């Protein structure tokens, strides 16, 4: 794969393939916003880059598989990290055997619980932001993440995944049950409070 090839382009950042010390790597480059005052834009890019890098590092300390960070350039808003040579869960989940699919969903739930045990909110938990690599689930893109230990935030985090599964993997919507099984097993606090919060969020959507 050629250097600087853009793997993904979003509203907030570009993901580019590169090499770091001879190793395959990716760079997440935050996009400058021309509509913002230049000085404010620089500060926001630097702050968000720093926060995301810290969340990734904190997630690893919680035992969650994430890309290894090689370098952080706060001035340019670039995080250089490990290239994960695997498959997005979004692309493979529907084609797996039932046993394999349920096992992966259980692993996803366990990893989310580990994040929440460390008061880490991913902010965009979808199967697009998980990569199966070396038989492990790696979480990527913490750009919308934050440190927050509130049950409300944890419920919203899981609700995002529930909606993603219902949308992208509707034929296997029971997958979320296996996510919750893994989550409940690893969460240190009473998982029923978080599940109750998910129900509240669903009801809010219905009666909005």
Between 10 and 159, the higher pLDDT residue: 159
Residue for token digits 């109750």? 196
Cα(164)–Cα(29) distance, rounded to whole angstroms?
A: 25
Comparing CA positions, the residue from 170, 173, 157 lying closest to residue 111 is 157
For the whole model, what pTM was predicted?
0.93
Active-site annotation holder among 58, 73, 87, 124: 124
CA distance from start to end of the chain? 47
Across the chain, mean pLDDT equals 93
Domains and CATH numbers, the chain: 6-82 (3.30.200.20), 87-206 (1.10.510.10)
pLDDT in tens, 49-78: 999 999 999 999 999 999 999 999 999 999
pLDDT in tens, 137-153: 999 999 999 999 999 99
Residue 2 is predicted with a pLDDT of 65
Cα(39)–Cα(152) distance, rounded to whole angstroms?
A: 34
State yes or no: is 124 an active-site residue. Answer: yes
């Amino acid at each position: 794969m050629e250097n600087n090839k853009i793997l993904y382009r979003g509203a907030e950042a570009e993901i580019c393939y590169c090499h770091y010390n001879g190793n395959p790597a990716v760079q997440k480059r935050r996009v400058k916003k021309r509509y913002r005052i230049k000085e404010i834009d620089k500060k926001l890019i630097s702050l968000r880059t720093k926060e995301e890098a810290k969340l990734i590092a904190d997630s690893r300390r919680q035992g969650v598989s994430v890309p290894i960070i090689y370098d952080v350039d706060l001035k340019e808003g670039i995080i250089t990290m490990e290239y994960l040579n695997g498959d997005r869960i979004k692309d493979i989940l529907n084609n797996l055997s039932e046993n394999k699919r349920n096992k992966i969903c259980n692993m996803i739930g366990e990893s989310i619980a580990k994040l929440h045990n460390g008061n880490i909110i991913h902010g965009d938990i979808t199967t697009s932001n998980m990569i199966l690599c070396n038989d492990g689930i790696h979480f990527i893109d913490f750009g919308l993440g934050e440190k927050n230990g509130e049950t409300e935030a944890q419920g919203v985090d899981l609700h995002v995944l529930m909606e993603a599964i219902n949308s992208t993997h509707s034929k296997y919507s029971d997958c979320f049950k296996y996510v919750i099984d893994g989550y409940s097993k690893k969460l240190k606090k009473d998982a029923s409070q978080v599940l109750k919060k998910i129900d509240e969020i669903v009801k809010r959507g219905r009666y909005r």
